[in-house]
Amino acid sequence: MSALLETIARIRREVCDLHAELTRYGLVVWTAGNVSGRIPGYDLMVIKPSGLSYDDLTPETMVVTDLYGTPVSGTSTGGDGTILEWGNPALTPSSDTAAHAYVYRNMPDVGGVVHTHSTYATAWAARGEEIPCVLTMMGDEFGGPIPVGPFALIGDDSIGQGIVETLKNSNSPAVLMQNHGPFTIGKDARSAVKAAVMCEEVARTVHVSRQLGEPLPIDQGQIESLYDRYQNVYGR
Amino acid sequence: MSALLETIARIRREVCDLHAELTRYGLVVWTAGNVSGRIPGYDLMVIKPSGLSYDDLTPETMVVTDLYGTPVSGTSTGGDGTILEWGNPALTPSSDTAAHAYVYRNMPDVGGVVHTHSTYATAWAARGEEIPCVLTMMGDEFGGPIPVGPFALIGDDSIGQGIVETLKNSNSPAVLMQNHGPFTIGKDARSAVKAAVMCEEVARTVHVSRQLGEPLPIDQGQIESLYDRYQNVYGR
Amino acid sequence: MSALLETIARIRREVCDLHAELTRYGLVVWTAGNVSGRIPGYDLMVIKPSGLSYDDLTPETMVVTDLYGTPVSGTSTGGDGTILEWGNPALTPSSDTAAHAYVYRNMPDVGGVVHTHSTYATAWAARGEEIPCVLTMMGDEFGGPIPVGPFALIGDDSIGQGIVETLKNSNSPAVLMQNHGPFTIGKDARSAVKAAVMCEEVARTVHVSRQLGEPLPIDQGQIESLYDRYQNVYGR
Amino acid sequence: MSALLETIARIRREVCDLHAELTRYGLVVWTAGNVSGRIPGYDLMVIKPSGLSYDDLTPETMVVTDLYGTPVSGTSTGGDGTILEWGNPALTPSSDTAAHAYVYRNMPDVGGVVHTHSTYATAWAARGEEIPCVLTMMGDEFGGPIPVGPFALIGDDSIGQGIVETLKNSNSPAVLMQNHGPFTIGKDARSAVKAAVMCEEVARTVHVSRQLGEPLPIDQGQIESLYDRYQNVYGR
């Protein structure tokens, strides 16, 4: 099999399997969340198909698109000269594909994107309020507060632009799009899923803490120390 | 097998299986929630039997009733002239059957009805307070706030009337019956279950958001734009 | 096998299996909840052994005690004259056995008792506050508010007395023992478990509702109408 | 096999299996929690490896370290003179190992340590607020409030020191490290896990209770009576 086909098969399996983490941690209901992954070395990505329930996902149903979100399929010549086909034009990519694609086009180091409507993160997003960094694990993972992105309607690049503009100025791999929900990024799809899981975890814990008073702040220098150690010494 | 018998068997299987979605998403405890589906082309519906635990449901236990909630059974002549029986007069339909039946009689486009006491939706219902549309996914699915229906006692058509009166003036497929809980409708039983799942999801998220402040409103024009796109362009 | 041995075997299996409902609905953690059942026709009861984890429960580990909580074992003559043994003196009954036993001695119609520390019911109990009847399903199941019982220490009959005194003056099959947690009763163990599940459900829903305002009251006459219908017409 | 190897194998299996209790009770997400156990009779401990997901844990992946957290391996001579190897130098111990090790060095009766970021306990920790003893089950298990330990950064012994200083002056087997999360101890790993489960349970219940008012206090004498009975008469 050609290198491209092998890579597509691997990323499709990874992206497919990672949706199980979204349901395991209760980040999504029905079909309302999606994971994508870049195909390294090509201007291609793999994303959840639209409307399929999580139980019915298989690697073959994951849709391959270009970095403008258009589904693509094609043929690839295997090592022995065989012509192999890939792509699944019968399925439509997630309705959030344009936002994922915009991120891949504009953030070349990003290899995975996740979108959910997880309850607590979305609750902060509905108030347009960033999550303050009051937990050591937030220092580790997010290096500061989790920021809010602008209100943006689906249909053009405004969601993608809001994600990229917000994350470019932040240590955080998560952004809370106002009235909408979190988008997270990572070096690959697995890292972006981890960020989505941790984003909901800290959104919930800080929410619960604030229900009965004000959490104690952590000094900016200590946050930087936690983040630096976790990202560089301990190795994320 | 005759067309009627085939349709009854299919709808019974669908309605039976969909109860697993109510437990999966934590919308019901014990036996306190029910799904029904219209039998297209006949003045008949299929509904959960009363008092059976969700583990014990099978397609054959689903009760066939007329559109006044009276259990019916009968025979049908198969293609080869064989006389086939259907119906299960040994089981009593859900105590909420009258409300479901009233909806089918008065809303001809409705093919599925769901009733639960899901926690957050019922909490709004106990205050008699509609859920404001402050999430893009509420715009998509509900096209505005989720409205409250009147207080009504079981025993006659007043619950059914309250549901129909409220939903006829709303984009929303969900109504919060005061002090009682949500009823949802859909073009078929699966759509009504999806509405029940999404209703609890937005009831919880907006509740959580309001615990620490006021969610930001979404403009009415933007809500209509979201709803129109989701229902017509994206296709529900 | 003799009638007594058959009954003991049946009640042990029922009481054992019902513990799975406590974990399924999240009413208990670790080993902190217990179900018991009366052996009809004898001054005997069956209860969870102390300290065993829910995964390790089998019918044979359920402890048979008299109605003062003392483990008993004995022999019974089968129909063919065979002498059969019952009881399991190797295991200690739950540390809450005295409270269960007191209820069976003083409420002859009670065939099952359940104790948990379920989160929301215990939260009301810690404030010493009854749960107001603001949901139609509370009218159905509890026929009014869920009352609070006195603060009582383990070690003598004061917990049992507090349960009996409180429930004798109430429609409710559940009592919230102050700073402690709920005890529920029923005509058999299954009914008492149902009451425990519904008690936590309404404790959570009314709690959530009150977090953002005041739930609307239901008229006393309407509560009585709901309760009467559910208990007598619909049949609990 | 030699006694040491047998003990290492047993503790590795116990520590490995106990991580399933952390996920079962929802105390941890992703890889963010860890259990360790002392190897009785040796200056050795066993702890979760760093970064492995809970699904991938096996007894063999549990890392053996000395009581300064340095991974060790070695050989042991079996009864028949065979030389056997132990240890797994390929895996890195949890990034929290230094804190666990400090506890074992300074509290000789402690045989197990657990660290989580469980939601409600961490929420109290973020406010730097102890959990008041307002539940009889808190009296039983914790013998008073659950105390707060100091803010401390990872990297040296300051977390371990904070744990030991706080717990030496308390009945409680749990400490809430400020802005960080709970650490719990026990006579073995299983007891420490039980303490972690009960800590989150009471953190949640007292939180929920305080959301709608003030829980009723329990007299100090009654707390001592509960604790004494549970620890000595009933036997923890």
For residues B3 and A54, the model is more confident at: A54
Q: Are B216 and A128 in contact (CB under 8 A)?
A: yes
Q: Are C1 and C34 in contact (CB under 8 A)?
A: no
Question: What does the pLDDT look like over B112-154, one tens digit per residue?
Answer: 999 999 999 999 999 999 999 999 999 999 999 999 999 999 8
Q: Determine, for residues B215 and A129 on separate chains, whether the beta-carbon distance falls below 8 Å.
A: no
Q: Determine, for residues D216 and C126 on separate chains, whether the beta-carbon distance falls below 8 Å.
A: yes
| Token pair of D204 as six digits | 């949640």
What does the buried/exposed string (b/e) look like for A115-144 if buried means 16 or more CB atoms within 10 Å of the residue's CB?
bbbbbbbbbbbbbbbbbbbbbbbbbbbbbb
Other chains touching A, judged by 3 or more CB pairs under 8 Å: B, D
Q: Which of C126, C127, C125, C136 is nearest to C202 (CA)?
A: C136
Q: Determine, for residues A181 and B137 on separate chains, whether the beta-carbon distance falls below 8 Å.
A: yes
Does residue B192 carry a pLDDT above 90? yes
Euclidean distance between CA atoms A17 and A20, whole angstroms: 6
Confidence at residue D212, expressed as pLDDT on a 0 to 100 scale: 98
Question: What does the pLDDT look like over D60-88, one tens digit per residue?
Answer: 999 999 999 999 988 777 667 777 677 77
Q: Hey, of A24, A29, A212, A214, which one would you mutate to test binding to chain B, going by the most B CBs within 10 A of its CB? A: A29
Other chains touching B, judged by 3 or more CB pairs under 8 Å: A, C
Q: Are A61 and A38 in contact (CB under 8 A)?
A: no
Does residue B17 carry a pLDDT above 60? yes
Minimal CA separation from C107 to chain B, in Å: 26
Tell whether B209 is within 8 A of chain C (Cβ).
Answer: no
The chain D residue lying nearest C31, using CA atoms, is D194
Q: How confident is the model at residue C89 (pLDDT cuts 50, 70, 90)?
A: low
Euclidean distance between CA atoms A5 and C120, whole angstroms: 53
Greatest CA separation found in chain B? 68
User: Phi then psi for B53, rounded to 5 degrees?
Assistant: -75, 155
Confidence at residue B89, expressed as pLDDT on a 0 to 100 scale: 67
Other beta carbons within 10 Å of D216:
15
Tell whether B214 is within 8 A of chain A (Cβ).
Answer: yes
Side by side, the strands of the sheet bearing D63-66 are D63-66, D44-47, D34-39, D112-115, D181-186, D174-177, D148-149
Q: Determine, for residues C124 and D216 on separate chains, whether the beta-carbon distance falls below 8 Å.
A: no
Minimal CA separation from A226 to chain B, in Å: 28
**Residues in chain D closer than 8 A to A137 (CB atoms):** 32, 117, 180-181
Q: Determine, for residues C197 and B30 on separate chains, whether the beta-carbon distance falls below 8 Å.
A: yes
Q: How confident is the model at residue A82 (pLDDT cuts 50, 70, 90)?
A: confident
| Token pair of B72 as six digits | 């019916």
Helical axes C158-168 vs C97-106, angle rounded to 10°: 40
Closest partner residue to D127 (CB to CB) among A197, A209, A234 is A209
Instruction: Please give the interface size between C and D, counted as residue pairs whose CB atoms are below 8 Å apart.
Output: 76
Q: How confident is the model at residue B21 (pLDDT cuts 50, 70, 90)?
A: very high
Closest partner residue to A30 (CB to CB) among B198, B206, B215 is B198
CB contact set of B40 (below 8 Å; sequence gap of 6+):
B7, B111
For residues B229 and D83, the model is more confident at: B229
For residue C83, what are the β-bridge partners? C77
Q: What is the 3-state secondary structure of chain C? A: CCHHHHHHHHHHHHHHHHHHHHHHCCCCCCCCCEEEEEECCCCEEEECECCCCHHHCCHHHCEEEECCCCECCEEEECCCCCEEEECCCCCCECCCHHHHHHHHHHCCCCCEEEECCCHHHHHHHHHCCCECCCCHHHHHHHCCCECEECCCCCCCCHHHHHHHHHHHCCCCCEEEECCCEEEEEECCHHHHHHHHHHHHHHHHHHHHHHHCCCCCCCCHHHHHHHHHHHHHHHHC
Q: How confident is the model at residue A236 (pLDDT cuts 50, 70, 90)?
A: very low
**What residues in chain D have per-residue pLDDT under 70?**
1, 78-79, 84, 89, 234-236
Q: Are A112 and A189 in contact (CB under 8 A)?
A: yes
The chain D residue lying nearest A203, using CA atoms, is D119
Minimal CA separation from D86 to chain C, in Å: 32
Euclidean distance between CA atoms A12 and A87, whole angstroms: 10
Residue with token string 């109408």: C225
Confidence at residue A89, expressed as pLDDT on a 0 to 100 scale: 67
Tell whether B215 is within 8 A of chain C (Cβ).
Answer: no
Q: Determine, for residues C226 and B119 on separate chains, whether the beta-carbon distance falls below 8 Å.
A: no
Least confident of A44-53, B2-11, C104-113: B2-11
What does the buried/exposed string (b/e) look like for D188-215 if buried means 16 or more CB atoms within 10 Å of the residue's CB?
bbbbbbbbbbbbbbbbbbbbbbbbeeeb
Tell whether C223 is within 8 A of chain B (Cβ).
Answer: no
D145 CB-side CA count, 13 A: 12
Minimal CA separation from B144 to chain A, in Å: 14
User: Phi then psi for C191, rounded to 5 degrees?
Assistant: -65, -35
One-letter amino acid at D25 equals Y
Q: Determine, for residues C135 and B120 on separate chains, whether the beta-carbon distance falls below 8 Å.
A: no
Q: Hey, of A31, A50, A119, A159, which one would you mutate to test binding to chain B, going by the most B CBs within 10 A of its CB? A: A119
The whole-chain average pLDDT of chain A stands at 94
Q: Determine, for residues C207 and D204 on separate chains, whether the beta-carbon distance falls below 8 Å.
A: no
| Domains, in order of start, for chain A | 3-232 (3.40.225.10)
Confidence at residue C236, expressed as pLDDT on a 0 to 100 scale: 44
Does residue A48 carry a pLDDT above 60? yes
One-letter amino acid at B32 equals A
Euclidean distance between CA atoms A184 and A194, whole angstroms: 9
Q: Determine, for residues A137 and D32 on separate chains, whether the beta-carbon distance falls below 8 Å.
A: yes
Euclidean distance between CA atoms B233 and C13, whole angstroms: 56
Other chains touching C, judged by 3 or more CB pairs under 8 Å: B, D
**Residues in chain A closer than 8 A to B229 (CB atoms):** 154-155
Euclidean distance between CA atoms D188 and D195, whole angstroms: 11
Average pLDDT over every residue of C150-177: 96
The chain C residue lying nearest D25, using CA atoms, is C29
Q: Hey, of D122, D156, D209, D210, which one would you mutate to test binding to chain A, going by the most A CBs within 10 A of its CB? A: D122
CB contact set of A221 (below 8 Å; sequence gap of 6+):
none
User: Exposure of A222 by Cβ count < 10 A (0-12 exposed, 13-18 middle, 19+ buried)?
Assistant: middle
Question: What does the pLDDT look like over A182-208, one tens digit per residue?
Answer: 999 999 999 999 999 999 999 999 999
Closest partner residue to B120 (CB to CB) among C206, C208, C216 is C208
Q: What share of chain B is helix, strand, coil (3-state, %, to 5)?
A: 45, 20, 40
Selected residues 60-119 of chain D with any CB under 8 Å from a CB in chain A: 95, 117, 119
The chain C residue lying nearest D141, using CA atoms, is C32
Q: What is the Cα gyration radius of chain C? A: 18
ipTM: 0.94
Residue with token string 């994600």: A163
Q: Are B182 and B176 in contact (CB under 8 A)?
A: yes
Confidence at residue B217, expressed as pLDDT on a 0 to 100 scale: 97
Confidence at residue B236, expressed as pLDDT on a 0 to 100 scale: 44
The whole-chain average pLDDT of chain C stands at 94
Q: Determine, for residues A127 and B208 on separate chains, whether the beta-carbon distance falls below 8 Å.
A: no
CA dihedral angle for residue B159, residue B164, residue B166, residue B169, rounded to 10 degrees: -170
Q: Determine, for residues D229 and C117 on separate chains, whether the beta-carbon distance falls below 8 Å.
A: no
Closest partner residue to C212 (CB to CB) among B95, B181, B207 is B207
CB contact set of B92 (below 8 Å; sequence gap of 6+):
B49, B50, B51, B63, B71
For residue D93, what are the β-bridge partners? D49
Euclidean distance between CA atoms B194 and D169, whole angstroms: 53
Minimal CA separation from B29 to chain C, in Å: 7
